Amino acid sequence: MGVLAAALKAEGATVRLIVREGPVPSSATAIYDSFCSLADAAATAALIVVDGKDFAAAELAALAKTARKLVLIDDIGQPAVGAARLLINPNIYGQELAYDTVAFSEVLAGVRWNLIDPRYSALADDAGRERIAVCFGGADDGSWAAPVLAALDGPVTWVDAGQRNLVPAMQDLLAERTEITHLVSPDMVAFYASTDVLICGAGQMAVEGMASGCKVIAVQVAADQALQIKALEVLGVAVFRAMDAAAIAAAAGQVDKVQCPDIAGGPTRVAERLMELASEVAA
């Protein structure tokens, strides 16, 4: 959401972050103008933008009362609320879905609406790209990454988000294989800029990798990635619908770069439409 917040602020909007109990992340203070509760947003905001995966069912039920000014980001092709003024599905397969246009007055679907950091799509230079990297998201305790890392020869990088409860197989691998570089929450612009082959799940990271100029191997790690893995395959990306570490490692030496069409400029396009929509709702 931080990328969208920055794009909205560039259009002149005041952007508040809805927060629950607990401390506000320090990184958020540099992005958002202020913070508010869900109830305050419902009462005072011109528009409420939510990612359906980030809210509990009871919270989403309360938001349904504000459908006229609700913007829902649907990452998995299963809308988390029954109605909204605008629905955004930023995935490659988004345009293939038939949303209820009565419940959702407007739908922006497809990768041209993807909220990708514009710094990623600016990374076009292949010079200096040597890294083979493996990343299956911050929730991976090594169960997904360990067999792939074990099957890869030579220097390789594993990226995670500070997972502290690693499975024994990953702990042993990191202890035994000194040529494995373990990066915890790295600067992703620098990471993508120096990565040649990226082995990851079939979610947003696969799209970011393509946009950044990496050669991507996408592995389906969750049921809700089925539509995305199919769309990636159609584009020509090397995909695996199940873990096959030996085959994935073999593919790393043969994979080609695939372009992700219409990816650049998504946050600006979304922000411009939201500014128009805020004026329409206020009228």
3-state secondary structure labels for all residues of the chain: CHHHHHHHHHCCCCCEEECCCCCCCHHHHCCCCEEECHHHHHHHCCCEEEEHHHCCHHHHHHHHHHHHHEEEECCCCCCCCCCEEEEEECCCCHHHCCCCCCCEEEEEECHHHCCCCHHHHCCCCCCCCCEEEEECCCCCCCCCHHHHHHHCCCCEEEEECCCCCCCHHHHHHHHHCCCEEEEECCCHHHHHHCEEEEEEECCHHHHHHHHCCCEEEEECCCHHHHHHHHHHHHHCCEEECCCCHHHHHHHHCCCCCCCCCCCCCHHHHHHHHHHHHHHHHHC
From first to last of its 283 residues, what are the pLDDT tens digits of the chain?
A: 899 999 999 999 999 998 877 677 777 888 999 998 888 888 889 999 988 777 777 777 777 677 788 898 988 877 777 788 899 999 999 988 888 877 888 999 999 999 999 999 888 777 778 899 999 988 899 999 999 999 999 999 999 877 678 999 999 999 999 999 999 889 999 999 999 999 999 999 999 999 999 999 999 999 989 999 999 999 999 999 999 999 999 999 999 999 888 888 999 999 999 999 999 887 6
pTM over 0.85: yes
Q: What is the pLDDT of residues 47-62, one digit of tens each?
A: 999 887 777 777 777 7
Instruction: For the chain, give the mean pLDDT.
Output: 89
